[in-house]
Amino acid sequence: MKILLPSNTPYAADFPTADMCERYDYPVGSGGTSYVYYKQNSDSLFSFGYRYVSYPSLNADWINPSVYYQFPFVLNQSFVDDYLDNTGFQDSIMYRYVGWGSIKTPLGNTYTDVFLYENNVFNSSSNTWTVLGYQWVSVARLQAIFNLFYPNPSAEFHEKVGFTSGITQQELDAKYQVSVYPNPSIGQSFIDINIPGKANVSIELISVNGKTNTKLVSDGMMAGKCHIPVNTANVAEGTYFVRIVIDNMATVKTIEVAR
């Protein structure tokens, strides 16, 4: 599975506002290649539709884009999205954030601050929800790193390769010179950022269970070094994300709040 810019795919003209595409290359005889087109915001990812190279009869566009991830997301709280495609097919999908942590992939890549999402599809014939698979999603990119479809002995496990941002988390940290200190925080910490040019900046303090979400900054900012106070005196003890979005490019730091 590879993540591509839509302009590098054969169906880009069908999805002119998409900014990300997933290409699935299936084993010979089981479907060939398919493309799924997405739009990414700083706090959500949703899909416009998909194209099958070998089976165009399966192609579909969503009448209302299907939401894949939202951030923040409350631990063990389900989010249901109803979707309708251009063929008249309507169904529902349910996502549930069930945990977070760090992972090391079979390709040898290590990712920190990764959410685990459970994906359920509604079975209208039995009127029940069935687990379709799991996704390991980067909180910084809001893109899945791993997909596990159909959790059974014949499951398909995909590692995604390539990201549309074209820049790694480490490169972002170096570019913006982000630091959060003191850490652990007892009452107050500070965020230092170097903004290379005029940019829209959003900074949030978010608990790992998704229940606390405090907007620290949401504004246009000029180039230069910023020194931003973070009041932690009124939040519960525990682990928090500091999620910094600069012109839709995100970086994430983890901070411990102590008493």
Distance in angstroms (rounded) separating the CA atoms of residues 117 and 114:
10
Phi and psi angles of residue 166, each rounded to the nearest 5 degrees, phi first = 70, 10
One domain for residues 154 and 119? yes
One domain for residues 15 and 118? yes
Q: Are strands 199-207 and 156-159 parallel, antiparallel or unpaired?
A: unpaired
Decide if 163 contacts 40 (C-beta within 8 A): no
- What CATH number is attached to the domain comprising 178? 2.60.40.3080
One domain for residues 15 and 131? yes
Residue 81 burial (10 A CB sphere; 0-12, 13-18, 19+): middle
Mean pLDDT by 10-residue block, N- to C-terminus, for the chain (259 residues)? 88 93 75 87 85 88 84 86 83 88 82 89 84 88 82 76 60 82 94 89 88 86 89 91 84 89
Q: What share of the chain is helix, strand, coil (3-state, %, to 5)?
A: 5, 60, 35
DSSP 30: T
Within 183-237, strands assigned E span 188-195, 199-207, 213-221, 224-231
The domain of 110 spans 2-159
Give 79's contacts (C-beta < 8 A, 6+ positions apart): 67, 70, 73, 94, 95, 96
The residue from 133, 159, 185 where one domain ends is: 159
How much is the pTM? 0.79
Say how many C-beta atoms besides its own lie within 10 A of residue 126's C-beta: 8
What is the number of structural domains in the chain? Answer: 2
Amino acid at 238: G
Asked if residue 68 belongs to a domain, the reply is yes
One domain for residues 245 and 153? no
The residue from 101, 134, 159 where one domain ends is: 159
Distance in angstroms (rounded) separating the CA atoms of residues 34 and 26:
8
73-77 contacts, C-beta under 8 A, 24 or more apart: 73/97, 73/115, 73/117, 73/210, 74/209, 74/210, 74/211, 75/99, 75/208, 75/209, 75/210, 75/211, 77/210
* pLDDT score of 169: 65
Asked if residue 164 belongs to a domain, the reply is no
The residue from 107, 129, 159 where one domain ends is: 159
* pLDDT score of 26: 75
Order of strands, sheet of 179-181, starting from the edge strand that comes earlier in the sequence: 179-181, 188-195, 224-231
Decide if 1 contacts 162 (C-beta within 8 A): no
* pLDDT score of 167: 56
* pLDDT score of 108: 80
One domain for residues 137 and 236? no
Nearest to 56 by CA among 32, 23, 76: 32
* pLDDT score of 70: 80
Decide if 141 contacts 159 (C-beta within 8 A): no
